[in-house]
Amino acid sequence: MTRKKIKIKKIDNIAARQVTFSKRRRGLFKKAEELAVLCDADVALIVFSATGKLFDFASSSMKHILQKYVSHSSNIEKYPPLQFLQQENSLQVRLSKEISDKTRELRRMGGEELEGLSLEELEELEKKLKVGLNRVSETKDEQLRNEIATLQYKGSELMEENNQLKQRVANDRRNGRIVGDIMDRMIQEDGESITKNSTTQPPLLQAADCSDTMLKLGLPFH
């Protein structure tokens, strides 16, 4: 179903005109905001209703956009369109020439397009190269010094960690030897106590053990 086309003319009904104004104004401001965001453009809208009420929208600063508009209008009035275009073309030609000169200078700095240069121009180019080479060397030396200092710092940290590990291993070994000596002493003391108990057994207990053995063998016991 197609939408009915509305004839563009003044709406006679005041209420309908006010409703249409509100709807169209909101839509217009929304489109202006979308244009500003999507295209990174400075957009400003100023709307007065039929009753004289002001509605405005600015993507950045209304004052700033109006100042740009006034400045642009003044330039257009000051310079006729043809003269303005001629100035734009002249500026473009000048910028193109500067770009070409800088590009050729860069190529000559790289050792290209040296044909046709005079002795003075070659000497000037040599001085520029020496100055640039000295700056490159100084920057490279500074970076090397920084890297060496960083490596030395890391090396000292590794040495400190290595010494700590060695000390820890030595402590573990010393603690292990102490524990081993204690265990050996305890085993030795236990063996001595067992031997002492077996040799110092009471005579009655030894006789009882002997009688039991003789009875098991069927021998007479006296």
Residue 44 has a CB neighbour count (10 Å cut-off) of 19
Q: What is the pLDDT of residues 26-44, one digit of tens each?
A: 999 999 999 999 998 999 9
Residue 15 lies in a domain: yes
Q: What is the 3-state secondary structure (H, E, C) of 71-90?
A: HHHHHHHHCCHHHHHHHHHH
Residue 85 lies in a domain: yes
The Cα–Cα gap between 160 and 172 comes to 18
pTM for this prediction: 0.34
Same domain, yes or no: 68 and 84: no
Residue 214 lies in a domain: no
- Which range of residues forms the domain containing residue 41? 9-78
Same domain, yes or no: 88 and 129: no
Same domain, yes or no: 99 and 130: no
Same domain, yes or no: 125 and 164: yes
The answer to whether 108 and 125 are in contact (CB under 8 A) is yes
The Cα–Cα gap between 103 and 105 comes to 5
Residue 222 lies in a domain: no
Same domain, yes or no: 124 and 164: yes
Q: Which long-range contacts (CB under 8 A, 24 or more apart) does 127-136 make?
A: none
Same domain, yes or no: 15 and 51: yes
Same domain, yes or no: 163 and 135: yes
Same domain, yes or no: 147 and 164: yes
Residue 101 lies in a domain: yes
Same domain, yes or no: 86 and 41: no
Same domain, yes or no: 166 and 148: yes
Residue 25 lies in a domain: yes
Residue 177 lies in a domain: yes
Same domain, yes or no: 66 and 89: no
Same domain, yes or no: 140 and 157: yes
- Which pLDDT score is estimated for 37? 92
Taking 70 as the pLDDT cut, the residues of the chain under it are: 1-3, 75-86, 179, 189-222
The CA radius of gyration of the chain, in Å to the nearest whole number, is 52
Residue 141 lies in a domain: yes
- Which pLDDT score is estimated for 27? 93
Question: Which CATH number do you get for residue 31?
Answer: 3.40.1810.10
- Which pLDDT score is estimated for 204? 45
Number of structural domains in the chain: 3
